[in-house]
Amino acid sequence: MLKIVRELAIDNPWVLKIIMGVIAVTFVVSMGWLGIKAPKGDIVMSVNGHKINVREYRRAYNNAVNFYKETYKDKFDSEMLEKMNLRDRVMDDLAIRELWLDAAGDLGLTVGEEELREGIMKMKTFHREGQFDRTLYERVLAANRMSVQAFEEAQRRELLIEKMKGIVRDSVSVSDQEVHETFPLSASGGKEGAAAMPPDEMQRLKKFLQFQKAEKAVNSYAAAIRAKAKIEVNKELL
């Protein structure tokens, strides 16, 4: 699966975004108890004052385990799970999500009602015969014990995170020179290579480098805001 994703990303970087979007929707839809007040003494992590309870953590952890089970099939076992250090990775992911939301808030970013509506209507999960179906939408949420209001608030947060990441991605660019330096078509990698590279190939490789550079920028930004964050973890609850 990962090999296929990498191959698709070369010609169509947006494919990976769609795949990750599907995973995000699955995560949100499967949350189930979103909006129910957590019992006291149930806080597993605090991120700049934002509280994450043990139920949220376990839900995210189980979703991650199920995703990797589906990805690796029979190869996924307890040994692989231990090597992946999934518990800490899930905790880190939950923390980073809160920090992305903080960053979006600092820039005054919001997700309006129309933007939210359009985002939800694009979700294939709620489509029937190629069109958004309101009845199906409500049935899927009800089957997962979620109200429309709870789901839409969760989705608003997802869109806000993606909007913030989009700003970071858009801050990077790739020049023709970078393409030639990364993929030289001659021993010298100079003008001969530039002349030999067809325009279509140039655009394909530029898209690929743009995708890589943008994701690196997102990861670097996430690492920077995490380094400044105040994060407290109660590992006794894990």
Element (H, E) at 132: strand 131-132
The pLDDT of residue 40 = 52
* Closest to 103 (Cα-Cα) out of 233, 213, 226, 231: 226
Per-residue pLDDT of the chain (238 residues; tens, 9 = 90+): 444 344 444 444 443 444 444 444 444 544 433 334 444 578 999 999 999 999 889 989 998 999 999 999 989 998 999 899 999 999 999 999 999 999 999 999 999 999 999 999 999 999 999 999 999 999 999 998 889 999 999 999 999 999 999 999 999 999 999 998 998 864 444 444 445 678 899 999 999 999 999 999 999 999 999 999 999 999 888 7
What is the phi-psi region of residue 129: left when phi exceeds 0, alpha when psi lies from -120 to 50, beta otherwise? Answer: left
* Closest to 163 (Cα-Cα) out of 94, 96, 101, 228: 101
What is the rounded CA–CA span in Å between residue 109 and residue 190?
43
Confidence (pTM):
0.76
Class of domain 2-172: mainly alpha
Asked if 176 and 206 touch (Cβ cutoff 8 Å), the reply is yes
The pLDDT of residue 26 = 47
